[in-house]
Amino acid sequence: MNEECTFEDYQKSMADNKILGVLCADCNTITAPPQAVCRKCSSPNLSPKELGKNATLQTFTVIRVAPDGMNPPYIVALAETDDGPWVIGNLIGVDPDKTDLELIGKRVTMSSQHTKGNLYSLADFHTLTFSLQ
C-alpha cells in the first residue's frame, strides 16, 4: 500500500489550500509533512492523507535576526494538529512585538502562503501558516 508522496505533492496540496500528510498502514499514525517512513514505527507502508485545518499552538519563537532574504520580525510556531502530527509554520496576523506566553494553547487554523525563493531555496514555494481562531 506504499503510495509515494513527494515534496512536489506536498507543495501542490498547499497551493490548493490543503495540508497533506501520510497515513501508516501498519500502525495508523499520521506523519506530516510527508516523509518516506512512518514517524512512529518506521514502516514504509504509507498513503497520502489530507489533514484537517485545526490545531493547537504548543510553542513559538519570534525571529528577530533572520537569514538573508527573510524579513524579521516574524513568528515561527509549532502546533499539534487535531489529526495528531505536530507541524511547524509561521504564525500570521499577530504582531511579533506584542506576543506573550498567552498564545500557547490557543486554537489555530492552518493554511499556507506563497513564499518567494531566496538565497537558500532558489525557487518559490509554499509555507505552512497558522492564524488564531
pLDDT in tens, 113-123: 988 777 777 68
Mean of the per-residue pLDDT values of the chain: 92
pLDDT range class, residue 131, cuts 50, 70, 90: very high
CB 13, CB 33: distance < 8 Å: no
> What are φ and ψ of residue 11, in 5° steps?
-65, -45
Beta-strand pair 54-63/30-31: unpaired
- pLDDT for residue 123: 80
Please report, for the chain, the start and end positions of each structural domain, with discontinuous segments joined by +: 7-51, 54-132
Q: Which residues lie closer than 8 Å to 41 by C-beta, 6 or more apart?
A: 24, 26, 27, 29
pLDDT range class, residue 2, cuts 50, 70, 90: low
pLDDT range class, residue 4, cuts 50, 70, 90: confident
